[in-house]
Chains A and B, each alone.
Chain A
Amino acid sequence: MEDNSARLFNDRLIRRLILALIVVVNVLIVGIVLALCVRSWPILDGTPLGRLLFSTEWHPSTGKFGLLTFIVGTFAVTAGAMLLAVPPCLLSAIYLSEYAPRWIRTLSAPLIDLLAGIPSVIYGLWGVLVIVPLVQDRIAPLFGVKSTGYSVLAAAVVLAVMIVPVLVHISVEVMKAVPRELREASLSLGATRWETVKHVVLRKSRSGLFAAGVLATSRALGETMAVLMVAGNYVFALPRTPFDQAYPLPALIANNYGEMLSMPHYEAALMAAALVLLLIVLIFNVTSQAILLRFARA
């Protein structure tokens, strides 16, 4: 009989190694939250939470650190991007999954995925060179508004393009996972292709499509560089229209960390901003998971 002890030992070793890795990953997320809490403590300790979250006053030199402008900026830019991206992406995904002949699918799917590989600073440059002037010279005048072009809208457009690959790719995969026989059941009753898509394919894949939206939103919430380059980063007022400047949280942190000089509590305030951003993303993801679970049960 052969000696199995070495093989069995390896088996146990691998299992423990993988377990250790998983533990490290889980500890990491807790560690990040803890570190941010500790570093932002000077602000959290001294400032009422309400003033930190719901004040628009941001005057580091006088010790006023209200984050509302940045929180609103983050949500405005993300919501704008989702509004712009979701309808065309959903329709593209429907086309690619349900209508396109194979050669179009094989040609366009990798091209769309390629969008995901473009560095975000390139998107930022494209935004500055193309979208910002477009908003300034064409779109804002259309609505009778004066705009520098650096705006919620410009950021939303750039972000929308950045989340296209996430939305389209996942949506196509999700819809293609719907069994062919289910489509045929609908078609065989005399339904048109569009009726089949609307009543059967979309309904069957709604939880997956929702998940695609969640991933895209998370990505948009945290996107820093491209947004920072085109949003305008205006500190002193909330954006009222899409043509106003915005200053999302990631841009605030990236722009100012390292230049805090000796202003008291400035670093802690930026850490608090980071903590708020992280919590927004975490809460968003946990809520989405809960909704997905309810989908799965239904």
Chain B
Amino acid sequence: MPEPSTTHISVRNLSVHYGGQPALKNVSVNIPDRKITAVLGPSGCGKTTFLRCLNRLVDTVDGVSVSGQVLVDGEDLFDPAAEVTHIRKKMGLLSQRPYPLPMSIYDNVAYGPRIHGQSDRGELDALVEHHLKLAGLWDEVKGRLRAPATSLSIGQQQRLCLARGLAVGPEIILADEPTSALDPISSAHIEGKFKELRDQYTIVIVTHILRQARRLADYVIFMYMGELVEHGPAAEVFNAPREKQTREYISGVIS
């Protein structure tokens, strides 16, 4: 059993409404530092909304209202004075399908550093190479960095998106069902990367694949109908769930 670790992200009384419809109801949970936390639950349970709160992408939805706090390194993301680009820079995002930016492989990875002021050619080259290696893509693309990112296979695109997210130097990786569009080999590749990165990054992965959560998670959050039902170290939640809904989900009665 993993030793109790420090908290990286602290969610307090977080509620989200879309045009009056509740999507998250009063969620409070501490996400441990440099561990893989899996957010589990059936479709529509609010797990994606939860993830989108962590980097405030939830803001981009029309008619959304959020209450509560998300503290990262002690700073409240939803504080009206909080500066959102600086918050988002701390977090890399992997979405369900890879969305490479409409530019070359190189420029995809260099995009973030450039935005944050890096313009030195040599530095950029080094950053791009380093992060493509980190994402396990370098050997496959080193000869064609100027090719459009869309020329890659979908599995390669997802690793490119990982490299792109890592290149801004985040502390946290947010992943929303990052393997759901991928073939099994590419999925295993991404999961393998997560395992390698877990010592350096706090990883929050939303998934509905129970076996994936079992393979990866150190800590588990189980949600149902917008509510946080249960959370705890993975071994506890999987082997001795306290709540009936968690038990039913894990045993496959509900999915």
Chain A residues with a Cβ under 8 A of chain B: 101-102, 179-192, 195, 199-200, 203-204, 298
Contact = CB atoms under 8 A, between A and B. Distances in A.
Interface in B37-59: 55, 57
B81 to A, nearest CB: 17
A288 B10 CA distance: 55
Contact of A190 (B62, B99, B112): B112
A188 B85 contact: no
Given A185-B93, A187-B88, 14 more contacts: A180-B60, A182-B99, A184-B95, A185-B95, A185-B101, A188-B92, A188-B165, A189-B111, A189-B112, A190-B88, A190-B112, A191-B85, A200-B101, A204-B102
A189 B102 contact: no
B188 interface: no
Contacts of A184: 57, 60, 93, 95, 99
Interface of B: 55, 57, 60, 62-63, 85-86, 88-89, 91-93, 95, 97, 99, 101-103, 111-112, 115-116, 148, 161, 164-165, 168, 174
B88 A188 contact: yes
A189 B93 CA distance: 8
Contacts of B89: 189-190
B97 A181 contact: yes
20 contacts: A102-B62, A179-B99, A180-B60, A181-B99, A182-B101, A184-B93, A184-B95, A185-B99, A187-B57, A187-B60, A188-B57, A188-B93, A188-B174, A189-B92, A189-B112, A190-B88, A190-B89, A190-B112, A190-B116, A298-B148
A200 to B, nearest CB: 6
Contacts of A102: 62-63
Nearest to A192: B85
A185 B161 contact: yes
Contacts of B93: 184-185, 188
B15 to A, nearest CB: 22
A191 B115 contact: yes
A181 B161 CA distance: 12
A179 B85 CA distance: 20
A179 B115 CA distance: 21
Nearest to A102: B62
Contacts of B88: 187-190
B101 A190 contact: no
A187 B60 CA distance: 10
Given A102-B62, A200-B101, A203-B103, A190 B168 contact: yes
Nearest to B116: A190
A189 B165 contact: yes
B102 A200 contact: yes
B202 to A, nearest CB: 15
A158 to B, nearest CB: 36
Given A185-B161, A189-B168, A203 B99 contact: no
Contacts of A187: 57, 60, 88
Contacts of A185: 93, 95, 99, 101, 161, 164
Contact of B164 (A181, A189, A203, A204): A189
Nearest 5 Cβ contacts at the A-B interface:
A190-B89, A188-B93, A189-B112, A204-B102, A190-B85
Contacts of A298: 148
A182 B62 CA distance: 17
B163 to A, nearest CB: 12
A188 B166 CA distance: 11
A212 B193 CA distance: 44
Q: Which one of A179, A191, A200, A203 has the greatest number of beta carbons of chain B within 10 Å? A: A191
